[in-house]
């Protein structure tokens, strides 16, 4: 139930949802003054939420700072899913920008900065619970000849809370004296704050490696600061999803 409610909430907090609401309201209203006000709100909405500079600053406040985790050695790297969709019609895997989580982890395993990778993730799709990301990731790695000898896969979790819960359960069974192991949590920068809190709630203390960061060096460029960008409106979806997710997890005792 919580999984389905989280999907509904993501829709309700999306800037696109309110953009469409104001647009339909302005179209349907018969009051000219109200229509002008609604169109003014709509234009202001586009310039505010379409501003890349403002989005960058908001992301900067939410993202955790970079650290020196790449220079250290870890027993276990925990990679969270959310990167693979399965196209059943064409029978191919499709990777989104969160694939950076895995792409950043593989070189660390290759150069022995990580001894093992634990990939956590089932299906995040309401309609296709059979498409478990851990299984798809394992299949993909094997198909390109990348050895999974130092991988562990967990395919039951459907959200961040379950990532932490089932990771703890599996690692406790696999490794003796888990508390003595040095662990690195690897997930997207916007997702890291909530993820670390969930793992800490399960008694797993980790260093972290944030991937596909959204806020880089500040850019004071004309287009970046003043021209609305549809990508920025989409970016607010990701940020608001994480902020609301963190708050809802806090209220429900998941972190």
Tell me the DSSP string of 34-103: HHHHHHHHHHHHHHHHT-HHHHHHHHHHHSPPP-SGGGS-EEEEEEE---EEEETTTTEEEE-GGGHHHH
**pTM, entire model:** 0.87
| 198 domain-assigned | yes
Backbone phi and psi for residue 73, each to the nearest 5 degrees, phi listed first: -110, 140
Q: Give 143-180 pLDDT, tens digit per residue.
A: 999 999 999 999 999 999 999 999 999 999 999 889 89
76 lies in the same domain as 196: yes
Backbone phi and psi for residue 86, each to the nearest 5 degrees, phi listed first: -105, 120
* pLDDT value for 196: 97
54 lies in the same domain as 114: no
Three-class secondary structure of residue 220 per DSSP: coil
* pLDDT value for 215: 86
42 lies in the same domain as 140: no
- pLDDT band for position 32 (cuts 50, 70, 90): confident
79 lies in the same domain as 143: yes
129 lies in the same domain as 183: yes
111 lies in the same domain as 139: yes
For the residues 66-83, what does the mean pLDDT come to? 92
| 221 domain-assigned | no
User: Which residues constitute the domain of residue 15?
Assistant: 2-63+228-251
| 185 domain-assigned | yes
């Amino acid at each position: 139930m919580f999984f389905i409610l989280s999907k509904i909430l993501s829709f309700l907090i999306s800037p696109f949802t309110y953009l469409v609401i104001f647009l339909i309201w302005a179209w349907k209203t018969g009051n000219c003054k109200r229509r002008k006000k609604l169109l003014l709100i709509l234009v202001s909405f586009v310039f505010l939420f379409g501003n890349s500079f403002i989005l960058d600053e908001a992301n900067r406040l939410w993202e955790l700072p970079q650290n020196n985790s790449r220079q250290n050695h870890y027993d276990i790297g925990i990679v969270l899913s959310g990167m693979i969709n399965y196209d059943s019609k064409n029978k191919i895997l499709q990777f989104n920008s969160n694939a950076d989580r895995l792409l950043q982890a593989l070189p660390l395993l290759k150069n022995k900065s990580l001894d093992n990778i634990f990939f956590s993730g089932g299906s995040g799709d309401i309609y296709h619970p059979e498409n478990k990301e851990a299984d798809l990731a394992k299949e993909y790695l094997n198909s390109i000849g990348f050895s999974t000898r130092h991988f562990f896969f967990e395919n039951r979790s459907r959200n961040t809370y379950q990532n932490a819960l089932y990771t703890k359960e599996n690692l406790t069974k696999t490794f003796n004296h888990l508390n003595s192991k040095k662990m690195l949590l690897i997930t997207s920068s916007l997702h890291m704050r909530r993820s670390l809190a969930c793992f800490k709630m399960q008694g797993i203390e980790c260093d972290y490696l944030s991937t596909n960061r959204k806020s880089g060096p500040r850019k004071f460029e004309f287009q970046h600061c003043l021209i609305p960008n549809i990508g920025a409106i989409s970016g607010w979806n990701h940020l608001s999803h994480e902020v609301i997710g963190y708050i809802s997890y806090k209220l429900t005792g998941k972190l």
